[in-house]
Amino acid sequence: MRDIQFKATPTTYDVIIVGSGAGGGMAAYELSKAGAKVLVLEAGQHYDPADPKYITQMKWPWQSPRRGASTRFRPFGDFDAAYGGWDIDGEPYTTAPGTEFKWFRSRMLGGRTNHWGRISLRFGPDDFRRKSIDGLGEDWPIGYDDVKPFYDEVDSLLGVFGSNEGLPNDPDGIFLPAPKPRLHEHLLKKHNKNLGITTIPSRLSILTKPINEERGSCFYCSQCNRACMAYADFSSSSCLIKPALKTGNLDVINYAMVREVLTDAKTGLCTGVSYVDTQTMEEKTVRGSIVVLAASACETSRLLLNSKSPRFPEGLANSSGVVGKYLHDSTGASRSAIIPMLFDRKRYNEDGVGGLHVYSPWWLDNKKLDFPRGYHIEYWGGMGMPAYGFGWGIENINGMFPDRSGNPREAGGYGTALKDDYRRFYGAYVGMAGRGEAIAREDNYCEIDPEKVDKFGIPVLRFHYTHSDHERLQAKHMHDTFEQIIHEMGGIPLSDKPGADRDYGLNAPGEIIHEVGTARMGNDPKRSALNKYQQAHDVKNLFVVDAAPFPLTGR
């Protein structure tokens, strides 16, 4: 066993940032440009999608021995740009009996921004005052007018394509041109119009036009989840950390798993953080005038709760007791279908950008519905690149359709007739996924497990999370909508409609990877951890800039 050593670096930084994802990257970018001496601590390894040793973009399926199938190391497939997942060796978490939560973590520079779907939607004016509207959850201490200038700046700085539609709660932006729809997306637009379901160009942070010298523009390989070697999609590592390093004001330490935030017993202010070097298992400390947490909602609350001292016996920034509470993930439910009209399609390159070219923002009025809030719908389909899983389950499909001569076909089979079925059905599938807003609840929370530690000796999180009828009824509505859309397109759903026994197909909490709320912001220090500047009420030189401060997920 290695000796555990405690080492302190001599430098005192102006700002120490924990985490290099969307929040940490932006903080590092802005602060280092402004002249502050900044240190970013990242628990995972270095990553640069333009460096051949990391590149998975433009690889062919046969270049992976498992043809792109998922592994424990890459839950979204062998080419996906997320190192980590729901299950990381030596970094466990627990769930209380009768509850469920799945915690996804990316251990790499840029975090989850490397593989994320690049969907870049603004919160609308109503999202900041939901409690005032429907009595549930909590209002934000800020409003849309406060954040609009920053949204505008981000649009210009990072590049988002989309279209200005003048929708009341899906604000317009400063958009790059949106790509034209694929064939199934044309059909969705046409049929959704008949159903009154708003379907507009998606809003993704992908450069359909160059915006600066540092980043290239999209060449339409549809693989943003593999991260772009031309930096044409936004990721924190490529678009924020990289330029921030050029200022000379930023240091980044990889393999730095932060154990706790250090405070001065007298002043109660942060003095720095301690971390474990995951390569050598050495314990280290760094000093800083300001500490910014951006480790992801749950990891940030874990850090705060683990940073106990006589002065802060309940953990740091937690005199209100809200840290870890009000945890919620987006709701999710999905369905797919086959569209006979699309059998035997003419072949052409239909890759497009990574992900959907059109989506449906929430289009209904809750006053007429049995659940609060709402959801948007994402779509998939088209003539994508075959990989592991291609044609899986054809025995459930090919018996439904007569052959080209109109003769009945028997489900399953083998040989040249089967081989031809795969060709015939290629590109005839569509899928849709609802992503909506759950209601934040005090009794959905994470806390420190009293018994377990991870391999670094850091106490782990224990989750308590259940869905309520708000979420279940929303999922039910999603499936009703999916069936309407599928039938309107003349399609056949590929699975049964999930009933109450299966929570109407609602994804398990954490599976959508939109978790927020565990150190919420507010004006009342008794009911929130952070003020409207995301600064801890209790500790003036501590800030949180990931999604922990969000009172809600939005939809």
Partner 1 sequence: MKRRDLLKSLGLSSLGLVGLSPQVQAAENILYSGPDKKKKKQPWEPYGRTEDEEAYNAKLLVEQFFNPKEMETLGVFVDIIIPKDQHSGSATDAGVPDFIEFMAKDRPNLQTPLRGGLHWIDSQATKRFGQVFTKCSDAQRLEIVEDIAYPNRKNPGMSQGVAFFSLMRNLTASGFWSSQMGLADMGYQGNTPNQWDGVPEEVLKQYGLDKE
CB of 374 closer than 8 Å to CB of 435: no
> Of the two residues 221 and 305, which places its CB atom closer to partner 1 in the complex?
221
Q: Which of 13, 83, 362, 463 binds partner 1 (CB under 8 A)?
A: 83
Question: Using CB under 8 A, which of 142, 394, 473, 494 touches partner 1?
Answer: 394
Among 383, 428, 430, 433, binds partner 1 (CB under 8 A): 383
CB 124 within 8 A of CB 169: yes
280 binds partner 1 (CB under 8 A): no
Considering the complex, what minimum distance in angstroms separates the CB of residue 543 from partner 1?
A: 31
387 is a site residue for partner 1 (CB under 8 A): yes
Q: Across the strands, what pairs with 455?
A: none
Task: Give bridge partners of residue 464 from the DSSP assignment.
Answer: 445
Give the nearer residue to partner 1 in terms of CB position, either 186 or 502. 186
Number of chain positions touching partner 1 (CB under 8 A): 87
Q: Is 63 in the site for partner 1 (CB under 8 A)?
A: yes
402 binds partner 1 (CB under 8 A): no
Choose between 398 and 531: whose C-beta lies nearer to partner 1. 398
55 binds partner 1 (CB under 8 A): yes
Q: Judged by CB under 8 A, does residue 90 bind partner 1?
A: no
Going by their DSSP bridges, the two strands 492-493 and 331-338 should be labelled as antiparallel
Q: In what helix (H) or strand (E) does residue 331 lie, and over which residues does it extend?
A: strand 331-338
Euclidean distance between CA atoms 277 and 170, whole angstroms: 43
- Asked whether position 279 contacts partner 1 by CB under 8 A, the answer is no
Closer CB to partner 1, residue 51 or residue 146? Answer: 51
Which of 379, 378, 436 lies closest to 554, judged by CA?
Answer: 436
Return the residues of window 165-184 that contact partner 1 according to CB under 8 A: 179-183
- Which of 243, 272, 352, 374 is in the footprint of partner 1 by CB under 8 A? 352
- Given candidates 75, 92, 384, 525, which one binds partner 1 under the rule CB under 8 A? 384
Taking the least distance from each CB to partner 1, the nearer of 50 and 494 is 50
Of 403 and 480, the one with the shorter C-beta distance to partner 1 is: 403
- Which residues, 187 to 226, sit near partner 1 by CB under 8 A? 187, 189-190, 210, 213-217, 219-223
Q: Which of 1, 10, 65, 149 binds partner 1 (CB under 8 A)?
A: 65
| Closest CB 484 distance from partner 1, rounded Å | 20
Residue whose entry in the numeric block shows the structure tokens 């005839």: 428
Q: With respect to partner 1, which residue has the nearer C-beta, 321 or 412?
A: 412
Residue 335 to residue 331: CA distance in whole angstroms:
14
- CA gap 549, 530 in Å, rounded: 7
Q: Does residue number 399 form part of the binding site for partner 1 (CB under 8 A)?
A: yes
In the bound complex, what is the minimum distance in angstroms from residue 303's beta carbon to partner 1?
25
Task: Decide: is 60 part of the binding site for partner 1 (CB under 8 A).
Answer: yes
Contact 532, 521 (CB under 8 A): yes
CA atoms within 13 A on the CB side of 407: 4
Terminal Cα-to-Cα distance of the chain (whole angstroms) = 49
Q: Please state, as a whole number, how many other Cβ atoms lie within 10 Å of the Cβ of residue 198.
A: 18
Among 3, 6, 196, 349, binds partner 1 (CB under 8 A): 349
Bridge-based pairing state of the strands 459-464 and 445-453: antiparallel
Angle subtended at Cα 300 by Cα 97 and Cα 320, rounded to the nearest 5 degrees: 80
Segment near partner 1 (CB under 8 A), from 98-106, 195-203, 286-294, 420-428?
420-428
Torsion of CA 161, 167, 171, 172, to 10 degrees: 40
Backbone angles phi, psi at 271, to 5 degrees: -120, -10
User: Does residue 340 interact with partner 1 by CB under 8 A?
Assistant: no
Question: In the numeric block, which tokens belong to residue 148?
Answer: 């609009």
Interface segment toward partner 1; rule CB under 8 A; list 153-161, 294-302, 318-326, 391-399: 391-399
Residue 337, classed as helix, strand or coil, is strand
327 and 297 Cβ atoms separated by less than 8 Å: yes
Contacting partner 1 within 10-49 (CB under 8 A):
45
Rounded Cα distance between 290 and 16, Å, is 6
